[in-house]
């Protein structure tokens, strides 16, 4: 079982998706906003919740008996998003990337999974790719390689696009030698990734086209919106679910909190896909090492 330190946790989308695989267990969260912390405490009772990522250190984690081997984090996007101020990755909010990178360095996990808006790849306007170049340089400086892809929510059947960059990082002792393979230098053997769990390239195209929306969790996710191309297609449909927000009878303040919490959350199906790929790769490496 891989132990997860879930940073910038929000309402727990990363942990929900990873734990669906059966191979991950969240051992600590870090979330600064009060409402998401209440959600985390409800669904993960007993799991510690740190409040400020700037105060999370490997020393403190060890003192608290927390030994993660996976670190996740969707660091703030306000300074990177095209809907935000685009002040850059060194600005006050999105600059918390440096804290995420510091924690990865201190903890030394087997994998780090990072998420942010698609504009991370292309910004800033005066130096295209400069922000993402900073991410890769920072990871390289602490001994980590990375693979990445822009995966939209529609790739897992959601009724909206929601493009997001997903970065999977691992120690530089493992290097991707060619498409579909990893070389693990400890054993000097090549390990093939299963095409069933490979979530890049052709697989993503198939998911966007709608041919694989149900393969995650074994449920018909978002099935009510199949073949819907405009609002008029929903008229008279008896199977439309109750609204997530306006259907709440708990009052306006709670409605606003729910809207913000879900709006900031990752779609859990995508971390689930990534989790399956990581588990498949680990199983392959163990099998190769045993030979």
Instruction: Kindly report the backbone phi and psi dihedral angles of residue 195, in degrees, each rounded to the nearest multiple of 5, phi listed first.
Output: -65, -20
Helical H segments across 58-200, by residue range: 58-63, 97-107, 119-122, 130-141
Distance CA 171, CA 145 (A): 6
Q: Helix, strand or coil for residue 108?
A: coil
Q: Could you tell me the two tokens for 278?
A: 């990581």
Distance of CA 204 to the CA centre of its chain: 16
Distance separating alpha carbons of residues 120 and 291, to the nearest angstrom: 42
Active site includes 77?
yes
Among the listed residues 30, 77, 101, 225, the single catalytic one is: 77
**Strand-by-strand arrangement of the 24-30 sheet:** 49-50, 24-30, 2-7, 70-73, 111-117, 163-171, 144-152
How distant is the alpha carbon of residue 161 from its chain centre? 16
Q: Distance between CA 197 and CA 267 in Å, rounded?
A: 18
Q: Give the angle 28-9-52 at the CA atoms, nearest 5°.
A: 75
Strands 189-192 and 2-7: unpaired
DSSP output for 125-159: TTSTTHHHHHHHHHHHHTTEEEEEEEEEGGGGT-S
Active site residues: 77
């Amino acid at each position: 079982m891989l132990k997860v330190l879930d940073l910038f946790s929000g309402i727990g989308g990363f942990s929900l998706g990873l734990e669906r695989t059966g191979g991950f267990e969240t051992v600590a969260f870090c979330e600064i906003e009060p409402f998401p912390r209440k959600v985390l405490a409800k669904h993960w009772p007993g799991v510690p919740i740190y409040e400020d990522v700037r105060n999370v250190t490997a020393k403190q984690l060890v003192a608290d008996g927390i030994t993660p081997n996976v670190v996740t984090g969707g660091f703030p996007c306000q300074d990177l998003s095209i809907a935000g101020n685009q002040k850059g990755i060194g600005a006050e909010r999105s600059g918390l990337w440096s804290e995420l990178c510091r924690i990865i360095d201190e903890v030394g996990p087997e994998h780090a999974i990072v998420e942010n808006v698609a504009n991370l790849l292309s910004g800033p306007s005066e130096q295209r790719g400069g922000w993402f170049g900073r991410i890769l340089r920072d990871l390289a400086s602490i001994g980590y390689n990375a693979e990445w892809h822009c995966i939209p929510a529609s790739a897992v059947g959601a009724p909206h696009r929601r493009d997001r960059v997903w970065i999977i990082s691992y120690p530089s002792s493992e290097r991707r030698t060619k498409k579909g393979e990893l070389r693990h230098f400890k054993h000097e053997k090549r390990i093939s990734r299963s095409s069933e769990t490979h979530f890049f390239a052709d697989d993503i195209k198939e998911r966007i086209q709608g041919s694989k929306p149900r393969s995650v969790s074994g449920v018909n996710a978002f099935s009510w919106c199949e073949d819907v191309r405009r609002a008029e297609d929903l008229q008279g449909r008896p199977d439309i679910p109750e609204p997530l927000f306006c259907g709440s009878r708990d009052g306006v303040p709670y409605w606003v909190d729910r809207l913000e919490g879900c709006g900031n959350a990752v779609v859990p199906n995508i971390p689930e896909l990534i989790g399956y790929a990581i588990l498949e790769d680990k199983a392959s490496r163990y099998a190769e090492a045993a030979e």
